[in-house]
């Protein structure tokens, strides 16, 4: 598990191994536009302000993934204990 923190509210959410960031935040009432939920379309792309994403999408190219400033919450996870999201 890892945590995501929302920059706007300061709220912290734990993401268990069997749930996506998108699922947890949607269930908590945080709206993120999404479509494919498989890391293909890029609709859910979210800015990352701090932390290191574990990119599992097929949407961004290598350089975009290496920049670590955005990720796809429908499928990607975290290498750091916390991701600070621009939400």
Distance CA 64, CA 53 (A): 12
Residue 24 Cβ vs ligand FES, minimum distance, rounded to whole Å: 14
Q: Which x/- pattern, by CB under 6 A, does the window 21-50 give for ligand FES? A: -------------xxxx-xxxxxx------
Residue for token pair 């494919």 = 36
Q: Which x/- pattern, by CB under 6 A, does the window 49-78 give for ligand FES? A: --------x-x------------x-x----
> Residue 84 is encoded by which pair of tokens?
């600070």
Per-residue DSSP letters for 20-75?
-HHHHHHHTT-----SSSSSSS-TT-EEEEES-EE---SSS-HHHHHH-SEE-TTT
Residue 58 Cβ vs ligand FES, minimum distance, rounded to whole Å: 8
Contact footprint for ligand FES (CB under 6 A)? 34-37, 39-44, 57, 59, 72, 74
């Amino acid at each position: 598990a890892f945590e995501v923190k929302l920059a706007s509210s300061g709220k912290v959410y734990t993401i268990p191994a069997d749930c996506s960031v998108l699922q947890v935040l949607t269930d908590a009432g945080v709206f993120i536009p999404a479509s494919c939920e498989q890391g293909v379309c890029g609709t859910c792309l979210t800015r990352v302000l701090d932390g290191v994403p574990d990119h599992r999408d097929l949407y961004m190219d290598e350089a975009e993934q290496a920049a670590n400033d955005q990720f796809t919450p429908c499928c990607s996870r975290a290498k750091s204990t916390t991701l600070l999201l621009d939400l």
